[in-house]
Amino acid sequence: MSDINEKEFEIHYDGTCPLCENFMCNVSKSEKARDIFLFSTNPPAQNAENFEKGIAVTNNKTGEILWKEDALLLIGKNLDGWRGRFIRLFGLLPKFLRRIVYNIISFNRHFLSNFIKRKAPNK
């Protein structure tokens, strides 16, 4: 297991969105991803004004920031299992289609989260 200071990337995501929370919970279950990524609900220190409650990945060594679908592709490249394969397939789409699909999902993420979040059992 890597030391926190050795982790190469930091994922910044919207902590108020159930869809984002669910996705990050699944990413953190991947052993490969846990060794590479730190997780934060705060905007990146650099360019915080450009963070519009979505997803961003900061390279801790170079300071480079990947936004939206580019960040998602980097995360998918480092995920185990079917989620990683699904995101890598998403990467086969042309960039303009990836951006359209990402923006549609991002714009409707609070509505879509109604279909995936787990409901508390009735007592």
pTM more than 0.75: yes
The whole-angstrom separation of Cα 70 and Cα 11 is 12
Domain regions of the chain by residue span:
4-116
pLDDT in tens, 53-67: 678 888 888 888 888
Per-residue model confidence (pLDDT) at position 101: 92
pLDDT at 29 over 80: yes
Residue position matching structure tokens 């995101």 = 87
Beta bridge partners of 57: 11, 66
H helix or E strand, kind and range, residue 63: none
Task: Classify domain 4-116 at the CATH class level.
Answer: alpha beta
